[in-house]
Structure 1
């Protein structure tokens, strides 16, 4: 099939849990905003030296302790990002690996870090051998000139990183593309797109599109002078034929209407399913059935 857009049944359910996660993230973000101008200025002066970033030095110790991280020619991972973003609220990011996922050697986790964002760890992706490739494309918000990093952890324990410097600012506090009423009217609607022919035991490129405002909590309404409450997607689970192929723990660094391109390997007929949870504890799910060719 060629570039099919696939719609599945959509269901949403909600519980009455408080916004504890969103509130905690936004409180931290507001605190960090007070220190970011100095950090951003320092990093702007060290654009050619990714290791000089004070934020990264702290995150590296917190996330990976003193474990070695391969970079440059030694890293089998690539990161693509614009040098200067046209729109800081919608910055395209593409991560690719130079090997396929196999049970013997595969990327287990992938961290997407945006050093100078209010919440620097924008996403943590979990892959499996059934992912086929640990490649991911998405769109992010960038709040200040910053290094953007993709750090992969293999099942062998190896760590590897690719880094790009992106010139953009104000993405996390930029006004949304449409008003809240319109955004809420389509909240949680999802669709899959599958590119090319779906063949058994071959990596298939798929795209998941989610309708969600992904409010950061840092945008001020110019009429009321109040901040729009934080409300964003926080977890995504994608499976095929009951086997997990992608899990994403994300926050408001992901742009409005989250969009992800990824791979999976179908062994035969099965259901491609996505389950999404946001910070209001709203659950959304959708699924489509695929019949791979030989």
Structure 2
């Protein structure tokens, strides 16, 4: 059983559309598509896609206004995913020069997933820029949204539409028995040679969504996933995550990082209350 979270939606709105198409006349075929009709069709599609968000945003951010992020939040996601269970997502946060605020958190949402909030990432104090990459499950064609929160409480959102289906129910890509045997093992890498230093943490865990079929019993494998991650450097928070079923198996996070002699400590806890902790050299001098 998954612990109820304020970020999980209590209900989902469903929209069923019926389109009636009449055969085109010869004159209409000769004239080609009507740009005005095409534009109207796209407007209707956009409105349909936003219906789910209108229903869930009240649960995720009750009573709060959400503005357009502009250049402050950049979201990179594939238009069409190669693997719906391993969809790469990258978020770049950066406040403009002269903006007195700092960055407090960023929430990643997959509208059409059974539990839309993939993760909420709380940032360490004083951050004015931050990058984060991870892999998520996408259950059906959906908007993916990144909502940043600044130190003054403002919410700023950007979005991308991803064509993918079946990610939450897809079977594990790795040997489940091996994953369980190595449960909680962590890897840490730093990439100081890049123009913008980053690090990566991987946590070995099957991260079952609760929607995957057990091939032996033909029943559903119970949900079991990493729900909390905390990454610190020299005792200071880099980021902390509250996650859900949308994070892919073996959760992997690549993030902004400044190499230093200070050790990096990673703590993770899953939905069964198992706690995993590892410490790594900071990688700097």
Which stretch has the larger CA shift, 97-106 or 75-84? 97-106
Q: Residues of 2 paired with 1:78 and 1:205: CA distance?
A: 17
Residue 82 of structure 1: aligned partner: 78
Cα distance change on mapping 1:45 and 1:195 into 2, 3 Å: same
Aligned to 1:54: 51
Q: CA deviation at 1:59?
A: 2.4
Q: 1:172 aligns with which of 168, 171, 190?
A: 168
Write the distance in 2 (CA, Å) between the matches of 1:103 and 1:288.
Answer: 34
**Deviation of the 1:228 alpha carbon:** 1.0
2:129 aligned counterpart, secondary structure: coil
How far is 1:218 from its partner?
0.6
Q: Note closer, same or farther for the CA distance 1:49–1:232 as it changes in structure 2 (3 Å cut).
A: same
Describe the shift of the 1:259–1:102 C-alpha distance in structure 2 as closer, same or farther (beyond 3 A).
Answer: farther
Which of 258, 283, 289 is equivalent to 2:275? 283
Cα displacement string for residues 137-160 of structure 1 (whole angstroms, at most 9, x for unaligned residues): 000000000000000000022221
The whole-number CA distance in structure 2 between the counterparts of 1:165 and 1:237 is 29
Matched residue, 1:260: 253
- The residue number in structure 2 matching 1:135 is 131
- The C-alpha deviation readout for 1:55-105, integer Å capped at 9, x for no partner, is 211222233345432326x35111010001011000000000233899952
Q: What runs of 5+ residues in structure 2 fail to find an aligned partner?
A: 20-40
Question: Quick one: distance in 1 between partners of 2:132 and 2:98?
Answer: 17
Flag the structure with higher helix content: 1
User: TM-score, normalized by length of structure 1?
Assistant: 0.78
Aligned to 1:13: none
Which residue of structure 2 aligns with residue 231 of structure 1?
224
| Cα distance, 1:235 vs structure 2 | 0.2
Q: Output the CA distance in 1 between the equivalents of 2:15 and 2:254.
A: 33
Task: Select the structure with the greater relative contact order (CA < 8 A; seq sep ≥ 6).
Answer: 1
> How many Å separate the matches in 2 of 1:46 and 1:252?
31
How far 1:120 moved relative to its partner?
0.4
Deviation at 1:275, TM superposition (A): 0.2
- C-alpha root-mean-square deviation of aligned residues, in Å? 3.2
Mark the runs of 5 or more structure 1 residues left unpaired by the alignment: 1-18
Give deviations 1:183-229, integer Å, cap 9, x for gaps. Answer: 2111111010100259xxx9731100111100011111233211112
- Whichever of the two has the greater Rg, that structure is 2
Question: Shift of the alpha carbon at 1:36?
Answer: 6.1
The one of 229, 247, 254 equivalent to 2:240 is 247
Inter-CA distance 273–131: structure 2 relative to 1 (3 Å threshold): farther
Taking the aligned partners of 1:97 and 1:254, their CA distance within structure 2 comes to: 20
